[in-house]
Amino acid sequence: MSGAANAGEEDVRRGAFSSRKVFILAAIGSAVGLGNIWRFPYVAYENGGGAFVLPYLVALLTAGLPFLLLDYALGHRARGSAPLSFRRTDRRTEPIGWWQVGICFVIAVYYAAVIAWAMRYTAFSFDRAWGDKPDEFLFTTFLQAGDPGVSLDVVAGVTIPLAVLWIAVLGIMAAGVQRGIGATAVVFIPILLVTFGVLVARALFLPGAAVGLDALFTPNWSALGQTSVWVAAFGQIFFSLSVGFGIMITYSSYVSRRTDMTGSGLVVGFANSGFELLAGIGVFAALGFMAQASGVGVDEVASSGLGLAFVAFPAIINEAPAGALIGVLFFGSLVLAGITSLVSVIEVVISAVRDKFELTRLAATIWVVTPSALLSLAFFSTTSGVYVLDIVDHFINRYGILVVAVVSMLAVTWLARALGVLADHMNSTGSVPLGAWWKVLIGAVTPVVLVVVLVSELIGDLGTPYEGYPTWMLWTFGWGMAIGVLAVALLASRIRWRPQTSLEPPEDSAVAAPEARR
Amino acid sequence: MSGAAILMMVLAMLVLWGGLGLAVWNLMTRSKAPEEHYRRDL
């Protein structure tokens, strides 16, 4: 299959977003996830407060946006899933695409569980079902968590919403790129913005909100001299933008060939960071209220991740006027942000399976979503689910996403030597030209910075077992899982492509592939 | 809130939300290629 006509036929076969606006909303929906709401505020607070704006902005401009544009270039030029895009860029880089697919599969399996928890907590908000002790309610009553280990005891309160969620995901994914993914983004993102905007407005009028904002934004300029603060800024930008693990490659392959991808990338990048700032304001206004109501400092109530969402916020909801409203808005926002991100993660896998085996959309969706749902239910709806989730999340983020990101940048730059053709492709329709600065950032600066982030994490994990979990659990669900994903990726890349699959970039791409020129 | 905190909050808003505004303006006015619309769900 080759030629412009056939390239067009391939677009019809694979599906596409109906417009640039839908693509941008879908990309924002992917980037804006749970981490924007529950990770950024605490990272900023812990790393210099108001002074964190500086390293955060440097990280966004020198690493986040350039890497986002690399993903866009790979997918938009090659017009394939992550493995096919890498294959069409340079055959030797195909395993990187399968590595990303494996990572996305793992993330989808556990990410769905957190959304299911948020679904239950949205309902719990109406009657404040967690009572006076949200911590005890979460672990003992709701999750029924015992000692760390693997249990087969099913928790019905998690199983049912998780099953419902996977059925909804099946429907969205089967509906296709535009009618499923695109339509979900077009509906959910505006609702998320309104919902979270109302939440922030409500939080700002709580007594003590100014105390929380003061804690968040008071600059600690001496923090800028600490390496760890800069590492945290680059880590936050990297993890929140959904770059480096195939999502943006896949989404950009569904966009019209004449779309301004650099201009679109700037909108997505700043929208993601803008939402993080909004989340920081809303979360710390609420934490300030909590601190004042409890007669303690903000440092004693500030937290992140599961602790912030499922312990601190229920406590805030208990104390706040119209607390039920805050609860519905907060947990509803988590559900909306989570679903649009989950959809993007699972699409990476579906798209790759479709391309590799030339399956129909429906067949690929069933082949991917069914095992994902079964694994999700098996591991994360049991009484040990929270522990397995915590370990898998920690290790797949660091030794999956972070490593494959560095490898992909180095491989595209130094093995495939494709930055030139990728820049030419982006510049053919882009409003912001990618010049030598972009190649330097992608080929040297960003990989080096991410390696520093990775090494700092590695030192921590090798020095102390993560969260004190048993060694066998860390090796099975942590290191073993991360290594296993890489092994499966290498095997997947050995499977032959179907004869009808073109392994060259479509002819109407701006410039031919490097390997085609050799 | 302290003056420094207010200043940094306003600065962060200007940079990130202002950056978003500029990015949208750039996309609307400076894109080289007219946007294509698919007429149906592909």
Q: Does the beta-carbon distance from A267 to B36 stay under 8 Å?
A: no
Please state, rounded to an integer, the average pLDDT across all residues of chain A. Answer: 90
Interface of A with B in 6-45 (CB under 8 A): 11-12, 14-20
pLDDT in tens, A335-363: 999 999 999 999 999 999 999 999 999 99
What angle separates helix A403-410 from helix A446-463, to the nearest 10 degrees?
150
Q: Does the beta-carbon distance from A431 to B30 stay under 8 Å?
A: yes
Average the pLDDT over A393-400 and give the result: 87
> Distance (Å, rounded) from C-alpha A508 to C-alpha A77?
9
pLDDT at A257 over 80: yes
pLDDT in tens, A440-488: 999 999 999 889 888 888 888 888 888 889 999 999 999 999 999 999 9
ipTM attached to this prediction: 0.87
Interface of A with B in 396-415 (CB under 8 A): none
Q: How far is A402 from chain B (nearest CA, A)?
A: 25
Over the Cα atoms of chain A, what is R_g? 22
- The domain segmentation of chain A, as residue ranges, is 4-517
Average the pLDDT over A360-378 and give the result: 96
In terms of Cα–Cα distance, which of A256, A260, A363 is closest to A8?
A256
Element holding A45 (H helix, E strand)? helix A40-46
pLDDT in tens, A129-182: 999 898 899 999 999 988 888 888 899 999 999 999 999 999 999 999 999 999
Q: Which residue on chain B is closest to A8 by alpha carbon?
A: B42
* Residue matched to tokens 């301004």: A260
Q: Does the beta-carbon distance from A50 to B9 stay under 8 Å?
A: yes
> Which tokens hold the place of A330?
């907060």
Q: Does the beta-carbon distance from B8 to A270 stay under 8 Å?
A: no
Of residues A321 and A102, more confidently modeled: A102
Chain A interface disruption, residue of B6, B9, B28, most A CBs within 10 A: B9
CA dihedral A239, A410, A442, A445 (to 10 degrees): 80
What's residue A175's pLDDT? 95
> Which tokens hold the place of A152?
């087969």
> Which tokens hold the place of A286?
């609420």
pLDDT at B35 over 70: no
Q: Residue B2: which of A214, A258, A267 has the nearest Cβ?
A: A214
What's residue B32's pLDDT? 63
> Which tokens hold the place of A366?
């069933």
pLDDT at A252 over 90: yes
Residue A357's SS3 state is: helix
What's residue A125's pLDDT? 94
Question: Would you tell me how many other CB atoms lie within 10 Å of the CB of residue A280?
Answer: 26
Do residues A56 and A237 touch, judged by C-beta distance below 8 A? yes
pTM: 0.91
Contact residues, chain B, for A11 at CB < 8 Å: 42
Average the pLDDT over A278-294 and give the result: 90
Q: Does A49 reach chain B within 8 Å, measured CB to CB? A: yes
Q: Does A281 reach chain B within 8 Å, measured CB to CB? A: yes
Average the pLDDT over A65-71 and give the result: 95
Residue A382's SS3 state is: strand
Contact residues, chain A, for B32 at CB < 8 Å: 260, 429-431
Q: Does the beta-carbon distance from B35 to A11 stay under 8 Å?
A: no
Q: Does A273 reach chain B within 8 Å, measured CB to CB? A: yes
Q: Which residue on chain B is closest to A264 by alpha carbon?
A: B27
pLDDT in tens, B7-27: 999 999 999 999 999 999 999
Q: Residue B8: which of A219, A270, A430 has the nearest Cβ?
A: A219
Q: How confident is the model at residue A515 (pLDDT cuts 50, 70, 90)?
A: very low
> Distance (Å, rounded) from C-alpha A28 to C-alpha A24?
6
Q: Does the beta-carbon distance from B19 to A429 stay under 8 Å?
A: no
What's residue A242's pLDDT? 85
Do residues A502 and A11 touch, judged by C-beta distance below 8 A? no
Do residues A485 and A101 touch, judged by C-beta distance below 8 A? no
pLDDT at A516 over 50: no
Interface of A with B in 429-468 (CB under 8 A): 429-432
What's residue A4's pLDDT? 45
pLDDT in tens, A190-248: 999 999 899 899 889 999 999 999 999 999 899 888 888 888 888 888 888 989 889 99
For residue B35, give the DSSP letter. P
Q: What share of chain B is helix, strand, coil (3-state, %, to 5)?
A: 65, 0, 35
Q: How far is A420 from chain B (nearest CA, A)?
A: 20
What's residue A169's pLDDT? 97
Q: Does A373 reach chain B within 8 Å, measured CB to CB? A: no
Contact residues, chain A, for B37 at CB < 8 Å: 18-19
> Which tokens hold the place of A338?
């989570």
What's residue A308's pLDDT? 85
Q: How confident is the model at residue A514 (pLDDT cuts 50, 70, 90)?
A: very low
pLDDT at A3 over 60: no
Q: What percent of chain A has pLDDT over 90?
A: 63
What angle separates helix A209-217 from helix A261-294, to the nearest 10 degrees?
130
What phi and psi values does residue A219 have, to the nearest 5 degrees?
-75, 135
What's residue B37's pLDDT? 56
Q: Does A179 reach chain B within 8 Å, measured CB to CB? A: yes
Q: Does B11 reach chain A within 8 Å, measured CB to CB? A: yes
Of residues A515 and A120, more confidently modeled: A120
Burial of A283 (0-12, 13-18, 19+ CB in 10 A): buried
pLDDT at A307 over 90: no
What's residue A5's pLDDT? 45
Distance, CA of A268 to chain centre: 13
> Domain A4-517: which topology?
Amino acid/polyamine transporter I (1.20.1740)
